[in-house]
Amino acid sequence: METRIDGATVYTGKIFRVERDRVRMDDGREATREIVRHPGSVAIVPRQADGAVVLVRQYRYAVGRALWEVPAGTRDQPGEAVEATARRELAEEAGYVAARWKRLGEAYLVPGWADELMTFFVAEGLTPTEAHPEPDESFDVNPFDLNDLRVLRGTGELDAKTMLALSWAGVDIWTDPKGLK
């Protein structure tokens, strides 16, 4: 277990802040830790009646390319319940409301340097609504069947949270229907 000795906030942004802490390790040595403090997030697997999953495609500046992802977003509204955040993000990004929700669980995305805890949901009974992306966001929205999801996985066009969300929701994007090669 590491014990915090002291630290400082070195950056505060719109979504997160960065802290640099000095810690004492179990053996008495000191080390520096840089941590991204994040309010948490949600990810939603919107599943249509035919089993297709609705994904959103957006350009990710940090990696210099567009990726297909499950709708997701930051818990940036103080006091908003986690499921309310998920409902809001599904409508904003994908343009759907859902009649049925199931909470799948939570996972730390990059615990080596951030405390972001993402809560995962499956949403079914989808009804289209008007999407309202944030002013700095732009999305393409498309449903994908299982075979198309497997193709996307193979091309690197899915991000890690999406692969985790799909697996957690029981969508097997890993098995090649032709077997091992």
The pLDDT tens digits for 114-160 are 999 999 999 999 999 988 877 887 889 999 999 999 999 989 999 99
**Are 55 and 80 contained in the same domain?**
yes
User: Which active-site residues does the annotation give?
Assistant: 134
**What pLDDT does residue 179 have?**
56
**Are 7 and 90 contained in the same domain?**
no
**What pLDDT does residue 180 have?**
47
Please report which confidence band the pLDDT of residue 169 belongs to, taking 50, 70 and 90 as the band edges.
very high
Can you give the residue range of the structural domain that contains 61? 41-102+116-168
The domain total for the chain is 2
Whether residue 177 is predicted with pLDDT greater than 70 in this model: the reply is no
Whether residue 47 is predicted with pLDDT greater than 90 in this model: the reply is yes
**Are 30 and 45 contained in the same domain?**
no
- Tokens matching residue 162: 């999406």
Q: Where are the beta strands (DSSP E) in the chain?
A: 3-12, 17-24, 30-37, 41-46, 53-60, 65-69, 72-74, 96-108, 117-128, 140-144
Q: Of the given ranges (14-18, 32-36, 55-59, 151-155), which has the lowest mean pLDDT?
A: 151-155
Whether residue 181 is predicted with pLDDT greater than 60 in this model: the reply is no
**Are 16 and 45 contained in the same domain?**
no
**Are 156 and 75 contained in the same domain?**
yes
